[in-house]
């Protein structure tokens, strides 16, 4: 919206019969910015009437503010999730051997969230952008909307701040020991996203032409291709909801096997021998816990398969070695593709000070997988987990069809 004094000047000049061209020329010579000059001159309709006729101005309405707030909120959400998927892609392409054990267990869940956000938010964002651009082409006066200008710049402040924060995080990770290639790739992602947003919207807010914005459309087309490619790639990693449920069940199986390993260690410690079966082991430990205190984790319900409800298959091999087997529905096919996420994987209980953690290797395929485990006897007087040794990698049976 133009300055009130400027609008009054234009009105007085039009009343004296001055042409719009001469009014523009005089104001520009006086140093008024082009956008304010055009806004003031455009405040009056070009109709034949004895006095200047003001144009209606309804571009500061609550409806307009609502549309722009939703639009720019979606912009921030999309930028963040596109960056998240791009970072996940980089992490998979440039796996850091030193970070295997510290890889984020929520990586796949985060990718699912990003995919869901883009599938819902990106089409709405494109539709709102198309509608707002069409209205501005139809009525160029909308480009002078104060609401549009203020919300654009406020949004750019938040977007720039968020992206600068991401860049700081990338630099921190680099200083924390990330590989050079991965650092450069992530820095490039942050730079491209921030530059695209700042260039496009700072340019758009200063535009007053009613012509089609070819540069903006080209950027939109490129962004659609990039978003589509990232979402398609993410689907190859996270797969569908069925696969997600299968992997959740497989995660519970790994956890159940580790709990069973703890119970076998407890039986081996208190009974001095391997249990004949998991059922007899559970009965022995329950009876002992009812009479005397037992170590942590030695008195619990016998873990069962989350799908069938039956116990895991157990077989004593010799005096201190046994085999635990479970049938996995999906496995972790990405084990070779992501060294950090799966190869060091498994669940473990935390032993006492100076003692070693026990882990189970996540199987890469569906079907029955068996683990050969050494039973460990611990100090029965301690209320902590035993001193254990690393469990060897699993020997899996062929995947079941």
Q: Bridge partners of 201?
A: none
- Asked if 95 contacts 182 with a C-beta cutoff of 8 angstroms, the reply is no
**Residue 198 confidence class, pLDDT cut points 50, 70, 90:** confident
- Cα 367 to Cα 121, 302, 326, 392: the distances in Å are 38, 22, 8, 19
- Asked if 82 contacts 118 with a C-beta cutoff of 8 angstroms, the reply is yes
Q: Which residues are CB-contacts of 265 (< 8 A; sequence separation ≥ 6)?
A: 375, 376, 377, 378, 386, 388
pLDDT of residue 401: 38
CA distance 340 to 343: 6
Tell me the two tokens of residue 117. 């956000």
The predicted model gives 188-205 an average pLDDT of: 85
Of 31, 149, 205, 148, nearest to 6 by C-alpha is 31
Q: pTM of this prediction?
A: 0.61
Which range in 122-126, 203-207, 388-392 is most confidently predicted, on average pLDDT? 122-126
Of 163, 75, 197, nearest to 126 by C-alpha is 75
Tell me the two tokens of residue 355. 């003692």
Tell me the two tokens of residue 6. 């400027």
Tell me the two tokens of residue 12. 């007085």
327 vs 34, residue with greater confidence: 327
pLDDT tens across 86-98, in order? 988 888 887 665 5
Q: Bridge partners of 44?
A: 54
The answer, yes or no, to whether residue 118 has pLDDT greater than 90, is: yes
Q: What DSSP string runs through 105-163? A: TTHHHHHHHHHHHHHHHHHHHHHHHHHHHHHHHH-GGGGG-HHHHHHHHHHHHHHHHHH
- Burial of 129-157, coded b for 16+ CB within 10 Å and e otherwise, reads eeebbeebeeeebbbbbebbbebbeebbe
CA distance 329 to 251: 10
Q: Bridge partners of 321?
A: 374
The answer, yes or no, to whether residue 189 has pLDDT greater than 60, is: yes
The answer, yes or no, to whether residue 242 has pLDDT greater than 70, is: no
Tell me the two tokens of residue 348. 């473990």
Q: Bridge partners of 322?
A: 316, 373
pLDDT tens across 306-357, in order? 988 888 999 999 988 999 999 988 777 654 433 333 233 333 343 433 344 5
pLDDT tens across 268-312, in order? 989 889 999 999 999 999 999 888 888 887 888 889 999 888 889
User: Tokens 């060091």 appear where?
Assistant: 344
pLDDT of residue 228: 94
The predicted model gives 109-136 an average pLDDT of: 89
CA trace torsion 134, 139, 141, 146 (10° rounding): -40
CA distance 50 to 25: 23
């Amino acid at each position: 919206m133009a300055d009130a004094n400027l609008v009054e000047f234009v009105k007085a000049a039009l009343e004296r019969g001055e042409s719009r061209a001469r009014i523009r020329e005089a104001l520009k010579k006086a140093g008024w910015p082009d956008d304010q000059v055009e806004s003031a001159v455009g405040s009056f309709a070009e109709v034949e009437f004895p006095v200047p006729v003001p144009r209606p101005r309804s571009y500061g309405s609550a409806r307009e503010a609502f549309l722009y707030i939703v639009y720019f909120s979606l912009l921030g959400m999309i930028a963040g999730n596109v960056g998240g998927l791009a970072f996940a892609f980089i992490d998979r392409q440039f796996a850091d051997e030193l970070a295997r054990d510290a890889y984020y267990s929520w990586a796949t869940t985060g990718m699912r969230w990003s995919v869901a956000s883009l599938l819902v938010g990106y089409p709405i964002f494109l539709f709102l952008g198309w509608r707002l651009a069409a209205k501005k082409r139809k009525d160029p006066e909308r480009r002078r909307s104060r609401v549009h200008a203020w919300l654009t710049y406020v949004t750019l402040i938040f977007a720039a701040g968020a992206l600068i924060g991401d860049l700081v995080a990338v630099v921190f990770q680099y200083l924390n020991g990330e590989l050079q290639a991965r650092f450069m790739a992530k820095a490039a992602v942050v730079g491209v996203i921030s530059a695209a947003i700042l260039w496009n919207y700072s340019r758009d807010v200063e535009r007053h032409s009613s012509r089609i914005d070819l540069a903006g459309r080209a950027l939109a087309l490129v962004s659609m291709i990039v978003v589509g490619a990232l979402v398609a790639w993410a689907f190859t990693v996270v797969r569908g909801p069925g696969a997600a449920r299968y992997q959740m069940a497989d995660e519970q199986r790994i956890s159940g096997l580790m709990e069973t390993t703890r119970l076998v260690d407890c039986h081996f410690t208190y009974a001095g021998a391997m249990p004949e079966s998991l059922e007899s082991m559970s009965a022995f430990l329950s009876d002992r816990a009812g009479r005397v205190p037992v170590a942590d984790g030695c008195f619990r319900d016998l873990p069962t398969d989350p799908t069938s409800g039956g116990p895991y298959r157990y077989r004593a091999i010799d005096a201190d070695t046994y085999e635990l087997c479970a049938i996995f529905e999906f496995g972790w096919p990405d084990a070779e593709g992501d060294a950090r996420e799966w190869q060091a994987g498994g669940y473990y209980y935390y032993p006492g000070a100076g003692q070693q953690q026990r882990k189970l290797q996540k199987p890469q395929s569906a079907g029955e997988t068996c683990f050969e485990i050494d039973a460990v006897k611990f100090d029965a007087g301690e209320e902590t987990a035993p001193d254990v040794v690393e469990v060897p990698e699993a020997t899996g049976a062929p995947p079941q069809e």
